[in-house]
C-alpha cells in the first residue's frame, strides 16, 4: 500500500517509532507500578500530558527552521532518554525522563505534519493520512504483545543482570526504534519551510521574532473559521474520548456487570472501528469530497455513538456502539488532518498543527482528570436510567462531541453556497445582457417614470396592453 519514495520512508519511520512508543508506554506503566503501586502509574501519565504547554514553541520552530533536522535531533534525543530509563529507580526520575521524552515528541509532531503535503500529491493526502494514523494506532496490539515477550525474557535473564529490570529490554528496544527512525528521516529530501521576506531575520537574532511568529499563528487560527472549527472539533472529540477511557473500566464492571473482560471487549470494539474507518478512507484514494463537511458529520456520528454506548444495558450492545464510535473517530481524525494539510499554507502549517496538538492534549488531560470527579457528583442526582453518575458522565461526554460536530457544521454553513469563478460570473452577465437586448427598452408611462415592475407597484393589463408581447420576448 505504501510505495517507495520519500513519504514511504517517512511512513516506515512512523511505524517503527510508534511500535517503540507503545512498547515504552506499557513498560513505563509497569515500572511505575513496580516503584509506586497504583498511584505511581499516574506519574508517567501526567508527565506525558504536561508538555502541551510547549506546543506553541514547537510550531514556531517547525515554521522557521529545518524540519528534517528537527525530527532527527528529536529522535536521537528520545533514543538516549529511552536508554536512561533502564537505570531509573525512583518516581521523580521517571517523571523527569518521561516529561523530556514527551517534549521532544511534541517538537517532532508539527515538523512531521508540516512536511507531509510537501512529500505527497494533494489528491493523495487522504490516503496518506489514513495510512499514517493506521501506523500509529495499528501498532498498539503489536506493541502490547512485544512488551509481554520482552518482559518475560527480562524475567528469565534477570538473574544474570543483563537488562537491570523486567522492563530493561523493552526500553532498549524503544531506543533502537528511535535510532532507526532518525536514520530513515535523515535520507528524506524534506524542503525547508518557506519564510517570507517580512519574517526573515536580518542582522542577527532578534528575540522579538519568535513572539511575532507566535502571535501571527494565533491570529491565523482564530481568523480562519474552518481551521479553527477543525482544531476545536478534534479537541472536543478527545475530551469525550478521555471520559470514555477514564470511566470505561468502572462502567463495564459496575454498570454493565461485565467485569474487566467486558472493558477489554469495549476497547477492542472501539479500536477495530477506528481501524476500519481509517482503512475505508484509505480505499477512497483520490475521491473528491468536502473534507471539512465529512469531518463535522463524523464528529456527530462519534458523539451519538458514545451516547448510545453509555445508554446500552449489556456489553454486546455497548460494544456495537463503541465500534461505531471508533469508525466516526477514525474518519474525523483523518478528515481533520487532511483539511489542515490542504488549506493551510506551508509558512503557517507548523504553528497550526502545534495549536492542534496543544489543545488536544489539554482537553484530554482535563477530561481524564475530571471524569471520576464528575461521576461522583452526578451519582444518584437523576432518576433511572440516569441515576448512575458513570453512565450520565459518558452521556455528557457524547453530547459534548455531538455539539462540537454541530458547531463545526454551523460554521461551515456559508461555504455551502456555490462559489462561481470569474469566468462563470462573466458568462452570467453576458447572458443577462442578451436577454435585455431581446426584451428591448422598457416603455415610459405617461407619468414620465419608467416601469420597473418592483413589488408593490400597481401594474395592470389596462395600463400595459402589450404585456403579452413583452412576456413572449422574455421567454
So what's the pLDDT on residue 420?
52
Which of 172-176, 350-354, 384-388, 402-406 is predicted with the least confidence, judged by mean pLDDT? 384-388
**In the predicted structure, residue 460 carries a pLDDT above the cut 70:** no
Max Cα–Cα distance, the chain, nearest Å:
114
By CB neighbour count within 10 A (0-12 exposed, 13-18 middle, 19+ buried), where does 189 fall?
exposed
pLDDT digits (tens, 9 = 90+) for 141-174: 777 778 878 877 877 765 444 445 677 888 888 9
- Which pLDDT tens digit goes with each residue over 184-223? 999 998 887 766 655 555 444 455 666 777 777 778 888 8
Range among 70-74, 170-174, 431-435 rated most confident: 70-74
> Which domains does the chain carry?
1-191 (1.20.1250.20), 209-416 (1.20.1250.20)
Q: Is the pLDDT of residue 52 over 60?
A: yes
| The pLDDT of residue 159 | 44
CA distance 70 to 327: 33
Closest CA to 107 of 134, 139, 150, 76: 76
3-state secondary structure of 420: coil
What is the tens place of the pLDDT at every residue in 94-148?
A: 999 999 998 898 889 888 888 888 888 887 888 888 888 888 877 777 777 788 7
Count of CB atoms situated within 10 Å of the CB of 287: 10
Residue (of 103, 187, 118) closest to 347 by Cα position: 118
Q: 412-429: per-residue pLDDT in tens?
A: 766 655 555 566 556 666
Residue 470: its pLDDT value, please?
Answer: 41
Query: How does 106-138 read in b/e, with b if 16+ C-beta sit within 10 Å?
Result: bbbbbbbbbbbbbbbeeeebbbbbbbbbbbbbb
| Average pLDDT over every residue of 359-381 | 81
Tell me how far apart the alpha carbons of residues 134 and 124 are, in angstroms, rounded to a whole number: 15
pLDDT band at 284 (very low <50, low <70, confident <90, very high): low
Mean pLDDT to the nearest integer, 281-295:
70
Q: pTM for the whole thing?
A: 0.71
- CA gap 90, 102 in Å, rounded: 19
- Crossing angle (nearest 10°) for helices 389-411 and 225-250: 170
pLDDT of residue 437: 64
Would you state the cell numbers that stand for residue 109, as one nine-digit string?
509532531
SS3 364: helix
Tell me the pLDDT tens digit for each residue of 208-263: 666 777 777 778 888 888 888 888 888 888 888 788 877 887 888 888 887 767 77
**What is the mean pLDDT of the segment spanning 294-306?**
89
- Report the percent of the chain where pLDDT is more than 70: 77
What confidence score (pLDDT) does residue 415 get?
60
Whose grid coordinates read 514547537?
58
User: Residue 305 pLDDT more than 60?
Assistant: yes
Q: What average pLDDT does the structure give for the chain?
A: 77
Q: Give the per-residue pLDDT at 321.
A: 92
Using pLDDT thresholds of 50, 70 and 90, give the confidence band for residue 177: very high
Contact status, residue 326 vs residue 272, Cβ threshold 8 Å: yes
HSE at residue 178, side-chain half, CA atoms within 13 A, is 27
Task: Provide the pLDDT for residue 469.
Answer: 44
Residues 6+ apart with CB under 8 A from 169: 150, 151, 153, 154, 163
Whether the pLDDT of residue 73 is over 70: the answer is yes
- 287 DSSP 8-state letter: -
Amino acid at each position: 500500500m505504501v510505495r517507495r519514495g520519500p513519504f514511504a520512508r517517512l511512513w516506515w519511520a512512523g511505524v517503527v517509532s510508534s511500535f517503540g512508543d507503545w512498547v515504552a508506554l506499557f513498560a513505563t506503566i509497569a515500572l511505575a507500578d513496580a516503584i509506586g503501586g497504583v498511584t505511581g502509574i499516574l506519574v508517567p501519565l501526567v508527565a506525558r500530558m504536561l508538555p502541551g504547554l510547549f506546543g506553541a514553541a514547537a510550531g514556531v520552530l517547525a515554521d522557521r527552521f529545518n524540519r528534517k533536522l528537527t525530527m532527527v535531533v528529536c529522535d536521537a534525543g528520545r533514543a538516549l532518554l529511552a536508554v536512561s530509563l533502564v537505570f531509573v529507580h525512583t518516581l521523580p526520575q521517571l517523571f523527569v525522563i518521561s516529561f523530556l521524552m514527551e517534549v521532544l515528541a511534541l517538537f517532532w509532531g508539527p515538523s512531521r505534519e508540516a512536511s507531509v503535503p510537501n512529500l505527497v500529491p494533494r489528491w493523495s493526502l487522504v490516503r496518506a493520512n489514513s495510512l499514517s494514523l493506521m501506523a500509529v494506532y495499528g501498532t498498539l496490539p503489536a506493541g502490547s504483545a512485544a512488551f509481554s515477550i520482552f518482559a518475560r525474557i527480562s524475567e528469565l535473564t534477570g538473574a544474570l543482570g543483563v537488562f537491570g529490570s523486567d522492563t530493561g529490554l523493552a526500553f532498549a528496544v524503544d531506543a533502537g526504534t528511535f535510532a532507526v527512525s532518525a536514520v530513515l528521516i535523515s535520507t528524506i529530501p524534506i524542503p525547508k519551510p518557506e519564510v517570507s521576506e517580512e519574517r526573515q531575520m536580518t542582522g542577527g537574532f532578534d528575540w522579538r521574532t519568535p513572539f511575532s511568529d507566535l502571535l501571527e499563528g494565533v491570529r491565523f487560527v482564530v481568523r480562519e473559521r474552518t481551521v479553527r472549527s477543525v482544531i476545536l472539533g478534534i479537541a472536543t472529540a478527545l475530551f469525550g474520548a478521555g471520559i470514555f477511557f477514564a470511566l470505561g473500566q468502572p462502567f463495564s464492571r459496575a454498570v454493565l456487570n461485565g467485569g474487566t473482560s467486558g472493558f477489554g471487549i469495549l476497547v477492542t470494539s472501539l479500536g477495530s472501528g477506528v481501524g476500519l474507518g481509517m482503512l475505508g478512507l484509505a480505499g477512497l484514494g483520490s475521491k473528491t469530497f468536502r473534507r471539512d463537511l465529512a469531518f463535522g458529520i463524523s464528529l456527530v456520528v462519534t458523539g451519538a455513538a458514545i451516547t448510545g454506548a453509555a445508554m446500552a444495558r449489556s456489553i454486546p450492545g455497548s460494544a456495537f456502539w463503541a465500534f461505531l464510535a471508533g469508525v466516526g473517530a477514525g474518519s474525523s481524525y483523518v478528515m481533520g488532518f487532511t483539511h489542515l494539510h490542504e488549506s493551510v499554507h506551508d509558512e503557517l502549517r507548523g504553528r497550526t498543527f502545534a495549536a492542534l496538538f496543544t489543545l488536544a492534549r489539554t482537553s484530554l488531560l482535563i477530561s481524564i482528570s475530571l471524569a471520576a470527579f464528575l461521576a461522583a457528583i452526578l451519582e444518584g442526582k437523576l432518576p433511572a436510567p440516569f441515576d448512575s453518575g458513570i453512565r450520565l458522565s459518558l452521556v455528557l461526554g457524547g453530547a459534548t462531541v455531538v455539539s462540537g460536530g454541530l458547531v463545526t457544521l454551523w460554521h461551515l454553513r456559508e461555504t455551502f453556497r456555490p462559489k462561481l469563478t470569474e469566468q462563470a460570473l462573466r458568462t452570467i452577465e453576458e447572458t443577462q445582457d442578451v436577454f435585455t437586448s431581446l426584451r428591448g427598452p422598457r416603455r415610459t408611462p405617461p407619468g414620465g417614470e419608467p416601469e420597473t415592475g418592483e413589488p408593490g407597484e400597481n401594474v395592470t393589463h389596462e395600463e400595459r396592453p402589450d404585456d403579452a408581447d413583452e412576456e413572449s420576448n422574455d421567454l
